[in-house]
Structure 1
């Protein structure tokens, strides 16, 4: 068992300044394995909530430790027994402590979020991307949309970080993509992501309250992951969500404020064959109660059941 020898080579005077802060962990946690074990225990002990990318405390610990050490986040094995120098350990322990004490979602600590293989810059100006629409996009919304090549215009409504707009640009190679948000802050983040992906000529960012700023634009696909949290749910959200912009979550008493406006206005912005796809979380019952006459199609993806509805243009109110 070699791994504990590495501690002996540490330069002990490095520790002085941290003594008051982390004396135990800094001295005793030497390898990646040690740090991941410690983080997992701390996260479980603190009862953290994981709704922003990771499935559990272990998953989040692995991500934060590897990311903070600038190691590839999908390759843990080669590094498990690597000894981590004091300065790097202090950095990892600091991130672990912030995650626990401030309940900040990991994505805000690392300024990145992943949807599949796509990485997006994020900070507190936008909610953390976690849309199930990205899985549905991979399947191309067949049979409701014709082949992906013939989709020429799409709209991402309530774009936030711009993630779904960027994914649409990827999945529909011939499409011009519009992305709308009411928050100038969110659009600044979206702009950064659009530039990172080199899509300035494909994705057009528009400041608008739902459809208000649009003229006669019509789209083959309008996709939206709008605010849909009910007032009751807002009251009991885990602390992690309170770091996200409230306007990106809260949508009135029944969570339907924005969804109602989307359904009311979508028809005039869809092509004849166009479709509207909206994510509404666990609110299926509320949506169906609000629109008893509409025949919603509820989509399932590999990981999620029926949180997203689809309506064809001809089903929508004129």
Structure 2
């Protein structure tokens, strides 16, 4: 598609013009929408509004506002990155949304999109035992969105955000500071549980680990190539990391604790491998799949078979 700036700077005037042009570009180039939006209109509106420093929910009247020449150049640069480079929009804007909360993101972390948000909104009921939540672990935290959202839900809880990637830990710390939670939310570099102390167990462990199997990884749209491979693929069946979590989590959970893990399409592989393990698969009313919960007691009771 021709993104020649000289002619477009003269021919396009309003936000509406650029939104329409962006939509045409998205359709022509067959872009994939899976990082915050699911259609060309929403993606185009967000791209243009972000480029001119307007909120995503700006009043509709703003669509007819004319842009300055410098604003036009910035919109076209955003559009070039999205269309020519296939870069996901949150990496262009530096921000993604999760549970109505804004998180700083870049290509050091995957873009937040976990359906675990639905469980956080329900306080993990009815699976989490009643009573106060004192300690939470967000394993494979990435940007820290799941752990931070959980900390804002359980306002008295201490929350550890753990990731093997030092780059991800740095991004998570940025988001912890953004929400002024440094007094009780801590980002830790660790290969799963390696740097953690089992004598200080967690009431809740939540994890969105790498879970894409080799076949799905090979066929993913170009947009996903911008995300860190370490955070996506997990062996031939997508379960290399999840198996480790299942084997070790029981040691780090309180006696009445709960483990929550997202495995996406690798759900089928997991059920085939552990038919006796009493995993409870959550029905996600707002969409998504592959999230299971299991209690600490059930993990320990089946430790020999994991």
**What is the CA distance between 1:236 and its match in structure 2?**
1.2
Indicate the SS of the match to 2:265: coil
Q: Higher Cα Rg: structure 1 or 2?
A: 1
User: Displaced runs of 4+ in structure 1, greater than 3 A?
Assistant: none
Q: Which residue of 2 is the match for residue 156 of structure 1?
A: 138
Q: Which of 147, 169, 176 pairs up with 1:194?
A: 176
Q: Which residue of 1 is the match for residue 157 of structure 2?
A: 175
Deviations 1:48-87 (A, max 9, x none): 1111111111111000101111112112402011111111
Distance in 1 between the 2:285 and 2:156 partners?
26
Distance in 2 between the 1:69 and 1:135 partners?
32
Indicate the SS of the match to 1:266: helix
Relative to the length of structure 1, the TM-score reads 0.91
**What is the CA distance between 1:302 and its match in structure 2?**
3.1
**What is the CA distance between 1:177 and its match in structure 2?**
0.4
Distance in 1 between the 2:224 and 2:35 partners?
9
Larger mean Cα displacement after TM superposition, 247-256 or 278-287 = 278-287
Structure-2 change in CA distance of 1:301 and 1:75 (3 Å): farther
Deviations 1:81-129 (A, max 9, x none): 1111111111101111110000001011000000132000001111111
Distance in 2 between the 1:115 and 1:173 partners?
18
Deviations 1:245-279 (A, max 9, x none): 11000100000000000000111111111110001
**What is the CA distance between 1:305 and its match in structure 2?**
4.4
Distance in 2 between the 1:61 and 1:130 partners?
19
Aligned residues: CA RMSD: 1.3
Relative to the length of structure 2, the TM-score reads 0.94
Contact 1:299–1:305, Cα closer than 8 Å, also in 2: no
Structure 1 position 307 matched with structure 2 position 287: no
Q: Which of 88, 97, 102 pairs up with 2:80?
A: 97
Q: Which residue of 1 is the match for residue 101 of structure 2?
A: 118
Indicate the SS of the match to 2:264: coil
Indicate the SS of the match to 1:283: helix
Deviations 1:181-225 (A, max 9, x none): 000000010111101111111111111111111122311110000
**What is the CA distance between 1:301 and its match in structure 2?**
2.7
Q: Which residue of 1 is the match for residue 194 of structure 2?
A: 212
Q: Which residue of 2 is the match for residue 136 of structure 1?
A: 119
Distance in 2 between the 1:134 and 1:197 partners?
17
Indicate the SS of the match to 2:64: coil
Structure 1 position 30 matched with structure 2 position 13: yes
Tell me how many residue pairs correspond in the alignment.
298
Indicate the SS of the match to 1:48: coil
Structure 1 position 85 matched with structure 2 position 40: no
Indicate the SS of the match to 2:254: strand
Structure 2 residue runs without a partner (length 5+): none
Contact 1:298–1:309, Cα closer than 8 Å, also in 2: yes
Distance in 2 between the 1:251 and 1:284 partners?
13
Indicate the SS of the match to 1:254: coil
